[in-house]
Chains A and B, each alone.
Chain A
Amino acid sequence: MRQFSYSRPDTLDTACHTPDHTRFLAGGTNLIDLMKSDVERPEHVVDLSALSMSQIEERPDGGLRLGALATNADTAAHPLVTERYPLLASAILAGASPQIRNRATNGANLNQRTRCHYFYDPDMACNKRSPGTGCSAKGGRNRIMAILGTSDACIATFPSDMCVALAALNATVNLTGPEGERTVPMRDYHRLPEDTPWQDNILRAGEIVTSIDLPSISFGPHHTYLKIRDRLSFAFAIVSVATGLQMENNTIRKACIAMGGVGTKPWCVPEAEALLEGKAPSPSLFRDAAECLLQGAVTDRDNAAKLKLAPRVIIRALSQASAGTPQSQTQKTIF
């Protein structure tokens, strides 16, 4: 960890107008770790905790607004979230540990960095950490790396569980920056690495996530967050699927689906959703959707298993959602 300045502004406006090389601090569960590992080297740390952005409230359109500083734990336990967006609550509970969820906040969940071994190790080349140094993950120990949305410059996975559900739910992200406010669809918030993998998302300098809006949408019991990982708890996803289906007379009216663990960002393919809509659930339909979702997948040295597992996880998740039997995050049996 290197020397940095610390401030704790009490207005959003002050917070936005910060110098270059600033990192915003919320729960600190990721940033502080990365600073200790010499991966993040901010000159200024601006602590957002004095801002009042932790509300969870209903919106006039029937949706819900999640404050950026509401903790993951509070969000997953909030009655409005568990009633209306159980998919989101489930995805949050599938991630990290109770201790981390007690600290970690919603806004910062969007901005967490990859778990790529090479990103975390300053002795190794990594374009995401040190632009232009190259990508050691390619050809290296990359069992946990992405198979979708990769580039020659980067194959790091975006690690969040929560964001996979937010993408499936077509949430929108509210931002405030030096140039004012704007709203960005969740599905467009994260960037593909292309040749600038150090830019994880579309945030501009000084911009802060203030809240996340969930649209008014309900799937009844037809949703699931299914996460496959290397142990039964407290591990990042190898493959995860968040899906919600609006069912009517055994027909899928609307399908929402996003994947985690496989992509360089939460992975959504609108064509796969369209393909499901208007049809009756069936194994062959789910297979087609899986194929569509995984189009263009590229594996490297160690991560071919993800491509083998991914379609099975998609099919199982769609089966769970269509049957109205969402995956429990405490009972480890997968139905």
Chain B
Amino acid sequence: MTLHSAKIGQPVSRIDGLAKVTGQARYAAEPHPAGMLYGFIVNSPIARGRIEAIRDEAARAVPGVVEIMTHLNRPHSALFEKSYMDGLSVPGSPYRPLHDAEISFNGQPVAVVLAETFEAAREAAMLLEVDYERWPHNADFEASLHQKYMPGKTRSNYVPPKSRGNAAEAYALSPIKVEGRYHLAPEHHNPMEMHATTVLAEDDGSFTVWDKTQGPQAVQAYLTSALSLSKDQIRVRNPYVGGAFGSGLRAQHNVFLAALGAKMLKRSVRITLTRPQMFTHVFRPEAVMDIALGAQPDGTLQSMIVDGVTDTSRFEHNMENLVIWGLINYKCPNATADYKVAPRDTYTSSDMRAPGAATGVNLFEMAIDEMAYACNMDPLAFRLHNYSDIDAMHDMPLTSKALKEAMHEGAERFGWYNRPMAPKTMRDGKELIGWGMATGIWDAMFSPTSARATLTADGRLHIATAASDIGTGTYTILAQTASETFGIPIEMIDIELGDSTLPECPTEGGSWTAASAGAAVWLACQSLREKLFKAVGKSGNISAWLTEGLSNKTTVLKDGFLQDKGADENLRLSLSEALSLTGQEKLEVEETAKPGLRGTISQMRKARFTHSAVFCEVRVDEELGIVRVTRLVNAVAAGRIMNPKTAASQVRGAMVMATGMALHEESLMDERVGRFMNHNFAEYHIPAHADIPDMEVLFVEEKDREVSPLGVKGVGEIGMCGTAAAIANAIFHATGQRHRSLPITPGS
């Protein structure tokens, strides 16, 4: 086998690809401990009320049923609400599954059938009869807007909008005005892998929990606290995750209920949700944004007023950074924004890929397009004219912003400069052709993360951190980082992720994992290398040329061998030889990467964002209302790209999702019962292959030494931001018609 030393920045194929396509990669619903019970959740058909009676004779009579767990017979769990909070909880009262008889949302679990087979559990679940006392509810978003409010306590990552100038006055005085209400339908995350948990009841009374989560340590902390267990009684594993898009940020009810069942019966338990049940928990909130823009005839923005609302439940205050993006990204002397949440009787809305920005950036960029046209300016020229080099909302410098370069490179590749300005001017047969563009912006975050690097007797390098690879390529980029930093072929590296016992790593999300875990692995490999050099240097029994030469200055560790710079190529030591010289069985270090490492700048001193410019071509059959996206070009400025192959795949995946946002995805709430009715993949439409054109992703060079230790910004969300707006703007250019509500479906 030829061994390859990989470098950061190379298009290395996924190192976990083989395991995945051969079924070796194990997901949350795949461990099968002996004696495992299957749990099937029974969901409430009402939105609000209380359980009056549960009649379970027929259900219990199904052969194989072991127990039916309800609020009446469940084992003890923590008493206080705060025990059910997790690191990413939003203010309010967290939902406590099977806590009592009260129903707060349609789809709320009211019972879990535990049986010897999945089939028995499901059949019994269908036979369980529950009587409810129904209370009035409101699940209508329009109606909930009358009750909108600002939570007294905001969630930890909430960025309050900051006003500048006098937006109202400037708007009134602006000769050119655009004003409108923009809307986004609620969406569900719908990862391909359903939410699932397998709890293994170990002999010592502890539990190993395989869960579909983005944060094994967060789930461990949550279960420990909610089930009143000690930390060493719960180990959470998620080595492979089949997509999550934010639905795995917080512990979902399946993990609590599976663990509760295992605690009750002291047996292993698995719960998998069905696709319809995937519509009973988190979703991207429905949103409205009232946007008013004022400008001078020359296209200079004078005023931006943004007023946004997203929905939340009655019991928790989910908040999004919805209204700030235009204020940050555009130079405009007068700007103000206001944000509130509207309560309805549903489960709490939650973070879904690029939370806040996917909604806020896209809807704002649709308004910006309208303003460009109101000023009779090319939409790209308009954006360049109002370009801000700083975070205009906080009046704070940026670590970097290569958006201008992205705009030019994207426009060049797309052929934007040949675009006729007037809408409805390009036609091919019965189809109108439109070109639209938008810009995207998302946070470039960095969180303290630890990693362990171990050199073992066989000369292999083991890297471990409690990060989660939710399908993004984390295994691969960490292996590249280790290969380059330590100087070892990628085939000699083992990466261990997705286990709460590993060195601390924050929950995967927000595009921060590449920058954060990458930095931790870099640091650990640096440190292990030094430790190895020192150890080998100290060991007396090594040939003179090597001992004398062994220092960072003259010795190199390359391709898995130690050798002197300039020395004969054959005079080299393999890592296992080197380790055996030290007399140690292994060498191990653990390091934590923190802000400030390698001269990175504190978030207080400089703002940090990824940016993008998206260009789109659509063909529209106006009469029949059919929109086809035929070209998408996304130029992304995201600092250093660790792996252009997996990174482009991330951006493309988000562009597909954003195409769904623009044209297909919509969870249909029947407000009479408070249930999302199109709860399956036949009626909740995500784009099919036929809907997706060849997409082009360009990475614009952006050297940024301040944003994170490796200069990495992360690319998980940026593809969502701007793409949906570019499609909507292209539809306007094709047809001359503005649509201010997404998705834009046939007949709308």
Contacts and interface: CB of A to CB of B under 8 A. Distances in A.
Nearest to B681: A234
A34 B678 CA distance: 15
A139 interface: yes
A335 B668 contact: no
A121 interface: yes
A123 B45 contact: yes
Given A143-B668, A335-B429, A231 B687 contact: yes
A115, A123, A228 — most chain B CB neighbours (10 Å): A123
Interface string B654-690: 0000000001100011101101011110110101111
A232 to B, nearest CB: 4
A233 B678 contact: no
A140 interface: yes
A302 B429 CA distance: 31
Contacts of A231: 663-664, 685, 687-688, 690-691
Interface in B684-708: 685, 687-691
Contact of B682 (A236, A305, A309, A313): A236
Contacts of A234: 688, 690
A231 B665 CA distance: 10
B747 A309 contact: yes
A36 B275 CA distance: 11
Contacts of A121: 276, 675, 677, 679
B150 interface: no
B225 to A, nearest CB: 33
A312 B276 CA distance: 34
B418 interface: no
Interface in B602-648: 619, 621, 623-626, 628
B747 A115 contact: no
Given A141-B678, A230-B685, A333-B619, A117 B628 contact: no
B625, B677, B747 — most chain A CB neighbours (10 Å): B747
Nearest to A236: B682
A334 interface: yes
Contacts of A335: 429-430
B123 interface: yes
Nearest to B672: A140
Contact of B690 (A118, A123, A332, A334): A332
B378 to A, nearest CB: 28
A233 B690 contact: yes
A2 B746 contact: no
B129 interface: no
Contacts of B431: 333-334
Contact of A118 (B126, B619, B626, B677): B677
Given A316-B624, A332-B690, A140 B276 contact: no
Contacts of B688: 231-235
A140 B677 contact: yes
A238 interface: yes
B119 A1 contact: yes
A140 B276 CA distance: 18
Given A121-B679, A309-B624, A230 B429 contact: no
A124 interface: yes
Contact of A308 (B668, B678, B747): B747
Contact of A305 (B690, B691, B747): B747
B122 interface: yes
Interface string A201-231: 0000000000000000000000000001111
A141 B669 CA distance: 7
A261 B533 CA distance: 73
Nearest to B748: A305
Nearest to B669: A141
Contacts of B127: 2
Given A230-B745, A233-B690, A144 B683 contact: yes
Given A309-B625, A316-B624, A140 B670 contact: yes
A143 B119 CA distance: 34
Determine the interface band of chain A, counting residues with CB < 8 A from chain B.
Answer: 35 or more
Contacts, number: 109
A230 B690 CA distance: 12
A117 B668 contact: yes
Nearest to A312: B623
B677 A141 contact: yes
Interface in A127-146: 136, 139-141, 143-144
Interface string A315-335: 010000000000000001111
A228 B276 contact: no
A159 to B, nearest CB: 9
B123 A232 contact: no
Interface string B30-58: 00000000000001010000000000000
A231 B621 CA distance: 13
A144 B736 CA distance: 27
Contacts of B689: 233
Given A121-B276, A334-B621, A228 B746 contact: yes
Interface string A28-40: 0000000011100
A238 B123 contact: no
Interface string A18-52: 00000000000000000011100000000000000
A118 B680 CA distance: 12
B106 to A, nearest CB: 9
A139 B670 CA distance: 9
Contacts of A235: 682, 685, 688
A150 to B, nearest CB: 18
A122 B128 CA distance: 13
B655 to A, nearest CB: 16
A122, A124, A334 — most chain B CB neighbours (10 Å): A334
A121 to B, nearest CB: 7
A5 interface: no
A118 B672 CA distance: 13
A335 B688 CA distance: 22
Contacts of A332: 628, 690
Contact of A228 (B122, B624, B680, B691): B624
Contacts of B677: 117-118, 121, 124, 140-141
Contact of B673 (A124, A313, A316): A124
A123 B276 CA distance: 12
B623 A2 contact: no
Interface string B110-122: 0000000001001
Contacts of B45: 123-124
Interface in B539-585: none
12 contacts: A115-B682, A117-B668, A124-B673, A140-B670, A230-B664, A231-B663, A232-B691, A235-B688, A309-B625, A309-B747, A332-B690, A333-B430
Given A144-B683, A232-B691, A233-B691, 17 more contacts: A1-B126, A2-B127, A37-B276, A117-B668, A123-B45, A136-B670, A140-B670, A140-B672, A141-B670, A228-B626, A230-B745, A231-B691, A232-B688, A312-B624, A333-B429, A333-B619, A334-B621
Interface of B: 43, 45, 119, 122-123, 126-127, 276, 429-431, 619, 621, 623-626, 628, 663-664, 668-670, 672-673, 675, 677-680, 682-683, 685, 687-691, 745-748
Q: Which 6 A-B pairs have the closest CB atoms?
A: A305-B747, A123-B45, A232-B690, A233-B690, A117-B677, A141-B668
